[in-house]
Amino acid sequence: MHPATSPTAETVEASPSQATASTGRLRNLLLSLTPHPTQNTSYTSYPPIPTTSPERLAATANDKPLDLYNLPCRSSSTSNDEKKTVLYLAYGSNLAHSTFEGSRGIRPLSQINVQVPSLRLTFDLPGIPYSEPCFANTGIRHPSHPSQAPESEPQEQQTNSNDDSATPTAEPSSWTKGLIGVVYEVTLADYTHIIATEGGGSAYNDILIPCHPLPPSPTDPVPSIPLSVPFMAHTLFCPPSSPRIHRPDPDHAQASPRYLALLTVGAKERDLPLEYRRFLESLQPYTPTSQKQELGRFIFLMMWGPFVAIVLALQKMFQDERGRSPKWLVWASGALFEGMWGSYDNIFLGIFGEGERTVKTGKGEDARRVARGWAEWRRKSRMLRLGDGDEKEKAGMLSVV
């Protein structure tokens, strides 16, 4: 799948890609242990950022995708490197001042709000079940599938107090006008730092994507077909073909309240269109709706949290300025991420219930869900002991036992 102007960046080796895709997201997983901010969270006031000049936008006509392996670091950049700037497209948590200027320590030289008709916002990067189910990514936007959510998304069903079924909640709305985001002008060394904090670059391709400046007022409607003069901006694209962890249904997971708050607060701080901000505010966050899910979250974090903390500490000790870790740590990070999701799919989901998407739980459903989960776990345990069952299913169990 390719957008209007196809990305040309090559896919890197599978082994570093898979594990570094995991390590980039592992940095965010410990945030699950902290309280979730709300829309009313107070944040530091930052000085205004100037708008990117038309001359700088026009200069992108000759830009080419960057080699993520050979970018200058902050400590090794030359005076010539410091004069070079990159236009970087942000659309997820990097919209928020607290993330981009705060956690990442990046001070943009200029910025401009944009519409990207060839991309759409997705939430298909797996995080940690029950706490941070997923993170934002981009997908190719096709004319036949322009929405953020599938057009065939089932509508939420009404249930009465005697209904014992658990019904996944549907998204309240979808967005049909392409990706909305901010293009920051940053130094080349700062762009290297962004890549390092996003996972060292091995999980991503650097691509150039055409962006259209949005109308100046946030109250102006977002055009269905943008007519403003486009320019080219760099962004980090994690393609579906990358060897990262994949979930069976990439549209299934819902982001946490903490993560969605970063997007909605960031969209307000960057003065994105009100129309788009209303869409972000309408997104359903993942919320546990039963005591068993809350118990599952606690046990899952107690089980995997210490290992995540150890890997993060080792990464901080051994990775270079580009965010790249030694091969043994790359392998350990990937194995940890696969183990977490394997334990969720084969154990936690059946016993404690949904850890990726909010469900409405009817009367008595908790007890039946736990009973079904234990029965399934006993069946699989017996299968492993006696050698019964499908070989593929046994192999899947052995990967997490």
Q: pLDDT truncated to tens, each residue of the chain (401 aa)?
A: 334 443 333 333 333 344 444 545 555 555 444 444 444 444 467 888 999 999 999 999 989 888 777 777 655 555 555 678 999 999 999 999 999 999 899 999 999 999 999 999 999 889 999 999 999 988 888 765 555 444 333 333 333 333 334 544 444 458 899 999 999 999 998 998 888 877 654 566 788 999 999 999 999 999 999 999 999 999 987 666 555 567 878 889 999 999 999 999 999 999 999 999 999 999 999 999 999 999 999 999 999 999 999 988 998 888 777 667 788 988 888 899 899 999 999 999 999 999 999 997 654 555 555 555 555 555 655 555 555 555 544 444 444 43
pLDDT of the residue at 385: 53
Residue 93 marked in a binding site = yes
Residue 329 marked in a binding site = no
Residue 384 marked in a binding site = no
Residue 184 marked in a binding site = no
Pairing of the two strands 132-140 and 119-128: antiparallel
Q: Set out the domains of the chain in order of their start, with CATH numbers.
A: 14-149+163-282 (3.10.490.10), 291-398 (no CATH)
pLDDT of the residue at 44: 63
pLDDT of the residue at 71: 73
Instruction: Count the Cβ atoms, other than its own, within 10 Å of residue 279.
Output: 23
HSE at residue 35, side-chain half, CA atoms within 13 A, is 3
- Check if the beta carbon of residue 51 is closer than 8 Å to that of residue 185: no
pLDDT of the residue at 59: 95
Residue 92 marked in a binding site = yes
HSE at residue 120, side-chain half, CA atoms within 13 A, is 22
pLDDT of the residue at 395: 47
pLDDT of the residue at 140: 87
pLDDT of the residue at 371: 54
**Which positions are catalytic?**
198
Residue 286 marked in a binding site = no
pLDDT of the residue at 236: 81
Instruction: Count the Cβ atoms, other than its own, within 10 Å of residue 236.
Output: 23
Residue 19 marked in a binding site = no
Nearest to 179 by CA among 226, 219, 133, 132: 226
Contacts of 175 (CB under 8 A, 6+ apart): 120, 121, 147, 148, 276, 279
Distance, CA of 379 to CA of 400 (rounded, Å):
16
pLDDT of the residue at 388: 54
Nearest to 350 by CA among 372, 365, 329, 330: 372
Instruction: Count the Cβ atoms, other than its own, within 10 Å of residue 170.
Output: 13
Instruction: Count the Cβ atoms, other than its own, within 10 Å of residue 219.
Output: 8
pLDDT of the residue at 348: 97
pLDDT of the residue at 111: 98
